[in-house]
A and B are shown apart, each in its own frame.
Chain A
Amino acid sequence: MSKTFKGRPIVAGTIDKGEAVVSHNGVNTLATFQKTALLHDIPIIGKDEVIGSDQNNPDVFGKVLTNKVLCLPQTIGSTTGGMVLYTVSALNMAPSAMLFSQPIDSLAAAGVILADVWTDNTIVAVDSLGEEFLASVKDGDKISVSEDGTVTVE
């Protein structure tokens, strides 16, 4: 049975049945994205997709995040966070959407806005979806997002 949640679109867009990756704790952007994103250009070990590398967050550690719908409370950690999100977006390695149960934080907002204004890509971002959203959604769930911030979890 599907569930619907209404949030505030920060970067409006649509997603049709994207695959959820769920973090119940704040996602540390630098710690999560740096290992694969910042090593992107290294021959042999460089990858074209982000695999979560934050040792302190088992919810995303070791999971592919590229083109996934990342469901989270907020992002945390280093203030390179927004720049890292912008960079992975420009390199086509970003999540397709970021859905926040809480109001968006300043680093994530910077990242999705920079991606929107300064690249041809978009990270759809919806915030304030509420605690029940994060309690309901599970890894692998199919998620659809509408322009107005309506999120449907199947």
Chain B
Amino acid sequence: MNENFKYKMELTDEEVAILHGSEGETMAKVMKTLVLYGDAFSAKRFVPVTGMGHLVTSFGISVLKPVFSIMDELINAGLKVDEKFTVDPRPIDYANVKCNPLQKIVFNKVLYGMQAPYEKQLNALGLKNANAFTCASYFDEVGNKPKKGDVLSWAESSAVVYANSVLGARCNRNSGIIELFGSILGKVPEFDLLTDEGRKAKWIIEVKTEKIPEAQVLGSAIGMKVMEDVPYVKGLDKWIGTELNDDAKAYLKDFGAATASNGAVGLYHIENLPPEAVELGESLINDDAKTYVIDDAELERVYKNYPVMWKDKNAAPKLCFIGCPHLSFAQLGEWAQRFDKEMKAQGKDKVGIRTIMTTAPDVLEKFRRENRADYDKLIGFGIKLTSICPLMYMNNPLCGGDTSNVITCSNKLRTYTTARYFTTDDITKIAVKGGF
């Protein structure tokens, strides 16, 4: 098959044979898809994938029947990912994120009625294990942390930008399904962020604030300005240091997720911090790079301009989501201390609104096991810990509609739902107080 298919990539004899059906009709379609994808970006060749996979599609949402059909076709053809993969978070967890009967009917019968069969499909195709559901697969606890220079076939915008920018791996902003195809083939077309040239910055960002910028607002401002281009950020090391410690990694995780969701950033460079920027410095900047200066006033302008999608903009918040992307082990401890301080300041012992924090299943187990004091503190405050995806939860119109009045400190969640964004400090005060 595909004998009359015209392409520009330079394929090996083995790749041509696959395209023509040597490994079956389905694999030939997988190959054709990836060749067309490579041709769209003038990729010359395929390069081997050297790290474990990560898929963006974790939810058995009924309308994705066409996706399930592809999965079935792959499974029936005997295809799978030999190196295993992790996947984004599950959408629901009734034990920790309680729902009323009507909300459950929508989740079970309408939205995520295909969750169980879909997870069977994921297992058949090579899912790492039952705990592999997180958007932050690169956490040490999860076990899918690429090395510098690894070539990946990942989707999930926040994970791709982290792997590229903080870990120095090489991965394009692949779409769902494409990332699975690359993992099955074990090869991806070489273009853009897989090349030295594609990793050069087209923007210089000069951070000139008087205090540490809120990670999610800074990322949002940069994402909206540079869109898909690579930014080289100067002046941030003044605030987050030059050591890639837990605090810096957590900051960059949240910063990067905002650049990727408010724009389409797949890679950023932070002067003097991640290994690639330390090693190559300003040689990573294109000669004709444009400059964007960010001061406190600019961040305030961006923050104040987020639209409020609540039906009643003066209504009291009903639900607070913290942890999109999933919180790291260190961040869980920091949130415990932050809430502890605010509880004392307000003379309270419980949060004033329903508050849910999300993290990876493996991180949650470790937190419960190794930082019991902070775990008990959060639980004692009435805060629930779970591993769901808040965005997928809010897809239920009864949980995320414009009268659900959800607040969040995630700019990604704000972008895709009716959730209203507040900074870390503001949301802590509001959650404890139970209102504005």
Q: Hey, which bits of chain A sit against chain B, CB under 8 A?
A: 10, 26, 28, 30-31, 34, 37-43, 45, 55-56, 73-83, 86-87, 90-91, 104-107, 109-111, 113-114, 116-119
Contacts and interface: CB of A to CB of B under 8 A. Distances in A.
21 contacts: A26-B264, A43-B110, A74-B227, A77-B415, A78-B416, A79-B160, A79-B173, A80-B155, A82-B177, A83-B175, A83-B176, A90-B65, A109-B41, A110-B176, A114-B175, A114-B178, A117-B29, A117-B36, A118-B29, A118-B66, A119-B66
Contacts of A41: 62-63, 110
A153 to B, nearest CB: 24
A116 B29 CA distance: 11
Given A79-B56, A114-B177, 4 more contacts: A76-B228, A80-B56, A106-B192, A118-B70
A37 B63 contact: yes
A40 B157 contact: no
| Interface-central residue, A42, A80, A113, by most chain B CB under 10 Å | A80
A38 B63 CA distance: 6
Given A80-B176, A109-B40, A114-B177, A30 B397 contact: no
B157 A39 contact: no
Interface string B12-34: 00000000000000000100110
What is the predominant secondary structure among interface residues of chain B facing chain A?
Answer: helix
Contacts of A118: 29, 33, 66, 70
Contacts of B32: 117
What is the predominant secondary structure among interface residues of chain A facing chain B?
Answer: mixed
A34 B261 CA distance: 15
Contacts of B63: 37-41, 87, 91
A107 B176 CA distance: 9
Contacts of B64: 83, 87
B240 to A, nearest CB: 26
B307 interface: yes
A42 B106 contact: yes
B156 interface: yes
Interface string B88-122: 00000000000000000010001100000000000
Interface residues of B, number: 45
A113 B7 CA distance: 13
B31 to A, nearest CB: 10
Interface string B187-216: 000001000000000000000000000000
Interface string B43-65: 00000000000001100011111
Nearest to A109: B40
A76 B227 contact: yes
Nearest to B415: A31
A129 to B, nearest CB: 15
A105 B37 CA distance: 10
Interface of B: 29, 32-33, 36-37, 40-41, 56-57, 61-67, 70, 106, 110-111, 155-157, 160, 172-179, 192, 227-228, 261, 263-264, 307, 309, 395, 397, 415-416, 418
Nearest to B157: A79
Contacts of A38: 61, 63, 111, 395
Given A82-B178, A114-B178, A31 B416 contact: yes
A148 B397 CA distance: 43
Contacts of B179: 79
B398 to A, nearest CB: 10
B416 A79 contact: no
A75 B260 CA distance: 12
Contacts of B160: 79
A10 B228 contact: no
Contact of B415 (A28, A83, A86): A28
Nearest to A42: B110
A34 B395 contact: yes
Given A31-B415, A117-B36, A119-B66, A110 B309 contact: no
Nearest to B172: A106
A75 B227 CA distance: 9
A7 B395 CA distance: 37
A41 B110 CA distance: 7
A47 to B, nearest CB: 11
Contacts of A42: 106, 110-111, 397
